[in-house]
Amino acid sequence: MQARRAARELAFILFSQFDKKITNYTKEDLNNIILKSVRILTSNASDELRIALGALIDMRNKIDDYEAEHETNLNRPIGVANIPVPLPMTSDMTGRINQMIDIAEKAMLALEIAEFTTLDSQSEVKDFAIQIAEYFQKNHKEVDEIIQKHAKNWDIGRLVKMDKDILRIAIVELLYIKDTPMKVVVDEALELAKKYSTDDSAAFINGILAKVIVENGLK
C-alpha cells in the first residue's frame, strides 16, 4: 500500500471520530484520535478475521458432510477413509467465498494502515493525515460551502456523513495541499466511497469533484 493511500484512509477514519467543532481540536487531539483510530482499525480487523475463520470452519464442515453423505462413500465399509468426490460450486458457496475474500481484504488493508502509522520510517502517513485535518480546520467553512454549492437539492446537513468527509478530504487536497495529481485524488476518493459508503456515493462524489475541478480550472 502506498503511504498517501494509507494516509487518506486514516484521515477518513480521523474525520469520523470528530465529536465537536473541528476548530476546537489541537494537534495533540488529532494525534490522540489517530491513535484511537488505529486501535479501532486493528480491533475491527481482528473481529473480521474471526468471522472469516468461523465461516471457513463452517464451510469445511459442510464439505466434510457432503463427502461423507455422497453415494460413493455411503456404500464403503465403516472405518475406511472417504474417497474425495466432485464438489458442485453452488451459488451459496460462491457467495460465502466472496464474503470471506472481502473480509480478508479489508482486514489486510486495516493492518497495513496500522503498520504504516506506527512505523517511525512511515511517519509521513500520520503527518499527512494530520495535514489534511489541519487544512480542513482552517478552511472548513469554505470547503463545506463548496460542497453545498455543487450538491444541488441537497442540504449539506443531511448528506451522508461518510460522503461529506470523503469530499472534504478530496477538496482539501485539490485546493489547498495541491501536491498530488488531480486524477489520483479523485480516484482515491471514489475508492473510499466504494469501500465505506452507499452504492450511489461514488457517482455522487465524482460529480461534485468534477464541478470543483472545472470551476477552479484544475488540470
Range of the domain at 52: 3-215
Question: Residue ranges of the alpha helices (H) in 70-122?
Answer: 71-74, 91-118
Instruction: List % helix, strand, coil for the chain (3-state, nearest 5).
Output: 80, 0, 20
| Predicted local distance difference test score (pLDDT) of residue 1 | 46
DSSP, collapsed to helix, strand or coil, labels residue 49 as helix
| Predicted local distance difference test score (pLDDT) of residue 186 | 95
Distance CA 107, CA 42 (A): 8
Count: domains in the chain: 1
CA angle 195, 200, 201 (to 5 degrees): 55
Per-10-residue mean pLDDT of the chain, 219 residues long, equals 77 83 86 80 76 79 84 82 77 71 71 61 77 94 93 73 94 94 94 85 92 89
Q: Environment class of residue 152 by beta-carbon count within 10 Å: exposed (0-12), middle (13-18) or buried (19+)?
A: exposed
Nearest to 125 by CA among 112, 140, 143, 106: 112
Distance CA 136, CA 195 (A): 22
Q: Is 0.75 surpassed by the pTM of this model?
A: no
* Long-range Cβ contact pairs of 27-31 (< 8 A, separation 24 or more): 27/130, 27/134, 30/130, 30/133, 30/134, 31/126, 31/130
Q: At 159, which CATH number? A: 1.10.940.10
* Structural Rg of the chain based on CA atoms: 23
| Predicted local distance difference test score (pLDDT) of residue 89 | 62
Distance CA 13, CA 34 (A): 8
| Predicted local distance difference test score (pLDDT) of residue 121 | 46
